[in-house]
Structure 1
Amino acid sequence: MTAAQADLSAEFLEMPEGPRIDRPDVADGAALWRIAKDSEALDLNSSYSYLLWCRDFAGTSAVARAEPDGRPVGFVTAYLRPDRPRTLLVWQVAVDSAHRGRGLAARLLDALTARVAAEHGVTGIETTITPGNTASERLFASFAARHGATVEREVLFEGRQFPDGPHAPEVLHRIGPLTG
Structure 2
Amino acid sequence: MTAAPADLLIESPATSDGAALWRIAKESKTLDLNSSYSYLLWCRDFAGTSVVARGADGEPVGFVTGYLRPGRPRTLLVWQVAVDAAHRGCGIAARLLDGLTGRLVAERGITEVETTITPGNTASERLFTSFAERHGARLSREVLFPAGLFPGGSHDPEVLYRIGPLTESTAL
* TM-score, scaled relative to structure 2: 0.93
CA distance in structure 2 between the partners assigned to 1:80 and 1:125 by the alignment: 9
Q: How does 1:1-180 map to 2 (within 5 A)?
A: 17-67=6-56, 69-179=57-167, 180=170
CA distance in structure 1 between the partners assigned to 2:156 and 2:7 by the alignment: 34
Conservation of the 8 A alpha-carbon contact between 2:46 and 2:67: yes
Conservation of the 8 A alpha-carbon contact between 1:61 and 1:76: yes
CA distance in structure 2 between the partners assigned to 1:132 and 1:161 by the alignment: 19
Superposition deviation, residue 119 in structure 1: 1.1
| Partner-residue secondary structure (3-state), 1:89 | strand
- Unaligned 5+ segments in structure 2 are none
Letter in 2 for 1:121: G
Conservation of the 8 A alpha-carbon contact between 1:62 and 1:112: yes
Superposition deviation, residue 164 in structure 1: 4.0
Letter in 2 for 1:139: L
Conservation of the 8 A alpha-carbon contact between 1:26 and 1:55: yes
Range 115-124 or range 136-145, more displaced: 115-124
Letter in 2 for 1:132: G
Letter in 2 for 1:22: E
Change (3 A) 1:101 1:16: closer
Partner in structure 2 of residue 10 of structure 1: none
Superposition deviation, residue 131 in structure 1: 0.3
Change (3 A) 1:126 1:100: same
- Aligned alpha-carbon RMSD (Å): 1.2
Change (3 A) 1:55 1:170: same
- Unaligned 5+ segments in structure 1 are 1-14
- Count of residues in Structure 1 that have an aligned counterpart in Structure 2: 165
Conservation of the 8 A alpha-carbon contact between 2:142 and 2:160: yes
Conservation of the 8 A alpha-carbon contact between 1:160 and 1:166: no
